[in-house]
A and B are shown apart, each in its own frame.
Chain A
Amino acid sequence: MIKFEHVSKTYDGKAALDDVSVEINDGEFVFIVGPSGAGKSTFIKLITKEIEPDSGSIFIDDKDITKFSQRMIPGLRRNIGMVFQDFRLLPNKTVFENVAFAMEVVHYTRRTIERQVPQALALMGIPDKADQFPDSLAGGEQQRVAIARAIINNPKFLIADEPTGNLDPSTALEIMKLIDQINRRGTTVVMVTHAKDIVDRMDKRVITIQDGKVISDLKGGYGR
Chain B
Amino acid sequence: MSKLLLSIIVLIFFGSCNESDRLAQTEPEIISPIVDINIRDSEYNFERNAYFGDVHVHSMYSYDAFIFGGIASPDEAYEFAKGGSVRHPAGFDMQLDSPMDFYAVSDHAYYLGIVKEMASGDSDLSQHPVAEGLDNLGDDLNFRRSVFLRFADFANAGNGGEIMDDTVVKNAWDDIVASANRHNDPGRFTAFIAYEYTGTGPEEEMLHRNVIFRDGIAPELPFSRINSDDPQDLWSWMDSNRANGIESLAIPHNSNVSDGLMFALTDYAGRPLDSAYASQRVRNEPLVEITQVKGTSETNPALSPNDELAGFEILPFKIGGTIPIKPEGSYVRKALLDGIKLESEKGFNPFSFGVIGSSDNHNATAVGNEDNFYGVSGLLDSDGQKRGSLPINSSENDSNVYFDRYTRFGASGLAGVWAEENTRESIYDSMRRKETFGTSGPRLKVRFFAGHDLPSVNDAELIAKSYSDGVAMGGNLIVEDAQPISFIAWAAKDPNSAPLQRLQIIKGWVDAGEAHEKIYDVACADRLQVDSITHRCPSNGASVDLADCSIASGVGAAELKTRWEDPDYDATQHAFYYVRAIENPTCRWSTWDAIRAGVAPRDDVPATIQERGWSSPIWINPE
Q: Do A and B bind each other?
A: no
Name A residues whose Cβ lies closer than 8 Å to a Cβ of B.
none
